[in-house]
Amino acid sequence: AAFALLPDLDKRQSIVGRMFPFISEPLDYHFGHRTFTHSLLLQCLVACLLYRWLPYGWWLALVCGLVSHSVGDMLTPSGVAWFWPS
């Protein structure tokens, strides 16, 4: 569940954005909402990094939480920048 909140780190008003304002504010200023943190680029990077250090079950649960957030946001009218920055 915690990893499902992680993509909203780029929004200062989100739960995780209020917990980590020193990360959230620069992300929001430089990239905007639903760009870098919702992209396949970041999701693949996180998945590759975690794969080395976590057991497979934990890894799968965390990656599914991370990706499910972007899939849910994709269903809204604003959509998601899957292939950010291209």
CA 3 to chain CA centroid, nearest Å: 8
Structure tokens given for 68 = 């499910």
Q: Could you tell me if 16 and 6 are in contact, meaning their C-beta atoms sit under 8 angstroms apart?
A: yes
**CA 8 to CA 17: how far, in whole Å?**
7
Q: Which residue would you say has higher pLDDT here, 2 or 48? A: 48
Is the pLDDT score of 44 beyond 90? Answer: yes
- Residue 61, C-beta contacts closer than 8 angstroms, at least 6 positions apart: 3
- Residue 21 has what pLDDT? 92
0.75 surpassed by pTM = yes
Is the pLDDT score of 34 beyond 90? Answer: no
pLDDT grade for 80, boundaries at 50, 70 and 90: confident
What average pLDDT does range 54-80 have in this prediction?
92
